[in-house]
Structure 1
Amino acid sequence: MSASNAPTPIQPIDTFTIQTITGDDVKTALSNGLADFKITPLISMFFGLMIALFGIGFSAGLLLFDQIWLIVAAGVGFPLIAPFLAAGFYEMSRRYESGEPFIWSDIVGVIFRQQRREFGWMAFVMLFVFWVWVYQVRLLLALFLQWTSFSSLDGFLVTISTTTNGLLFIGVGTIIGAVLATVLFSITVISMPLLLDQEIDFVSAMILSVKSVMANPLVMLGWGIVIAVITFIAMLPGFLGLIIAVPILGHATWHLYRKVLIKSV
């Protein structure tokens, strides 16, 4: 079922067939994502701007309440919740593909309706992983830096990049963060667009997503690295790069999903 139509019965997991993909398919998905972005760039950038403003506001709040240490956790963890925010891009690409016209308010309506569908449950999964990430950063901060007081963001960054304990904090945190990001990527990369596109329970969707990653480990790992690198670079200019980067990645993810998962019944 599409997100804009009347509900249909929940689809069984064996309704879908997982395809083997190659690096060329990833390149094609990125190319198609860019093409989708160019069709109605202002609408895509509007939703990208909402994501960027969320990042800016969240970071500003941490500075305001003197929670400087959390900025690093938020900066690394922010991409963990981006798939949920990308629902609008999946819907836009779905409509481009089916030839359905729309305006920006149609996409906003689809995003809000997801809270009444299985798609909404994935928010809890992603927020749980995000909070696990934040609390492990708190634990590592206590273990390696003994809750050292930082008067500024610059002071915090200098400490973690020039001291032995700071480098250990970064090293161990990076390993743990990579594990959490890999787990979350595996359960969401296919399940998120699938849940928007079809009526299927979120557990089955996560299982199909993990199986899709396991069937294409190197290609999917490469796609995860592409997402992480592009998102990180886009965040550097005060999150403003996300206005363009996230829409393109969101559209591309839809196309990769359509290549990986085929409805066989």
Structure 2
Amino acid sequence: MSQDEKPVASEGAENSGERPKAAPQVLTIGAGDIVDALGQGLRDFRAAPRFGLFFGGVYALGGMLIVLTASALGMSYISYPLAVGFALIGPFVAVGLYEVSRRREAGEALDWPGVLGVVFAQRKRELGWMAFVSLFVLVVWMYQVRILIALFIGLRAPTTMDAFVSVVLGTPEGLMFLAIGHVIGAAMALVLFSLTVVSFPLLLERELDFVTAMITSVRAVVTNPVPMIGWAFVIMILLMIAIGPFFIGLFVALPILGHTTWHLYRKLVAPEA
């Protein structure tokens, strides 16, 4: 190549004048930041309960519908793993709650057209890919449940919930299924938590690709393992309690967790320059 010639790629980069965006900066937090974010989340819920109850209700009714459908199809024995797996898509449902917290933080008006408009607009943005990731993990979770049922209980699993509970709690094979299933479920939940705890609110606020958002989320967890694992444990306990009474508790639990996640994101990721 002569000295007068330049690579085409270099010419394009020079002419465009665009620079790749720097990766979001992850900050270090402590247990006190989790408590503070939880307090801010509670204040957001009390300040705008109609939005919290609406999105919590959508989530709760979705869980009820899925379990009732499984029962109608004669598959009520998968209601428990289905309910647990349904909790995995909570971060996507909470997008509207992130927007409410963002608007309160910025001093913007809270109105239904504005909040719902932002939620519906996400289908054309990178956040839609994050929804696909959540649903994919849910499908994998249910698939491995079916495999474990076939391995430990047999291909002809009990078709009623009472019979299934009797087999699971009353036989060595059932107890092994329960133990291994919970270990695998916990591992999958931790992976999904690491991928989504920061990525959903990050993509709501900034124009990034979803891969960068997931990497940033994982970095936030790796940088702050103790407080973030503690927060994951709090989420698990609250969701299990909320799902217990046929998903009714999600009317309150999801708004609190959603608003808190936004404020935690603010503490984990430095503001955009």
Looking at structure 2, the residues matched to 254 and 207 of structure 1 have their Cα atoms a distance apart, in angstroms, of: 18
Give the letter for the 2:211 counterpart.
V
Contact kept in structure 1, 2:51 and 2:97, CA below 8 Å? no
CA distance in 1, matches of 2:156, 2:38: 43
Q: Which residue of 2 aligns with 1:3?
A: none
1:152-176 deviation per Cα after TM superposition (whole angstroms, max 9, x unaligned): 2122122212211111011111111
Q: How does 1:16-165 map to 2 (within 5 A)?
A: 16-165=24-173
- Kept in 1, the 8 Å contact 2:75–2:159? The answer is no
1:178 corresponds, among 164, 167, 186, to 186
Distance, in Å, in 2 between the alignment partners of 1:150 and 1:118 is: 42
Which amino acid is 2:176 matched to? L
* 1:12 aligned onto 2:21: yes
Q: Say which of 168, 171, 190 aligns to 2:198.
A: 190
Q: Which amino acid aligns with 2:56?
A: G
Q: What amino acid is the match of 1:116?
A: K
Cα distance in 2 between the residues matched to 1:31 and 1:11: 36
1:263 aligned residue = 271
Q: Name the amino acid aligned to 1:238.
A: F
**Compared CA separation, residues 22 and 190, structure 1 to 2 (3 A):** same
For 1:243, the equivalent position in structure 2 comes to 251
Write the letter of the residue equivalent to 1:165: E
- Please report the TM-score for the alignment, with normalisation by the length of structure 1: 0.93
Say if 1:73 and 1:134, in contact at 8 Å, map to a contact too.
yes
Which residue in 2 is equivalent to 1:232?
Answer: 240
Query: Percent identity over the alignment?
Result: 46
Query: How far does residue 18 in structure 1 lie from its aligned partner after superposition?
Result: 1.0
TM-score by length of 2: 0.91
Runs of 4+ residues deviating >3 angstroms = none
Distance in 2 (CA, whole Å) between partners of 1:211 and 1:224 is: 15
In structure 1, stretches of 5+ residues that fail to align are 1-8
Determine the C-alpha separation between the residues in 2 that align with 1:71 and 1:247. Answer: 24
Residue of structure 1 equivalent to 2:4: none
In the alignment, which residue of structure 1 is the partner of 2:229? 221
RMSD (Å), alpha carbons: 1.4
Kept in 1, the 8 Å contact 2:158–2:164? The answer is: yes
Gaps of 5+ in 2: 1-17
Given the superposition, is the C-alpha separation of residues 248 and 214 from structure 1 closer, same or farther in structure 2, using an over 3 Å criterion?
same
- Cα pair distance change 1:157/1:260, threshold 3 Å: same
Q: Return the offset for 1:78.
A: 1.2
- Whole-Å separation in 2 of the counterparts to 1:193 and 1:179: 23
Of residues 177, 187, 202, the one that matches 1:169 is 177
CA separation of 1:11 and 1:253: change in aligned 2, threshold 3 A: farther
Query: Secondary structure of 1:263's partner?
Result: coil
Higher CA-based Rg: 2
SS in 1 for 2:25: strand
Partners in 1 of 2:115 and 2:169 — Cα distance? Answer: 42
Following the alignment from structure 2 to structure 1, what is the Cα–Cα distance between the partners of residues 20 and 185?
Answer: 33
The Cα shift of 1:79 comes to 1.3
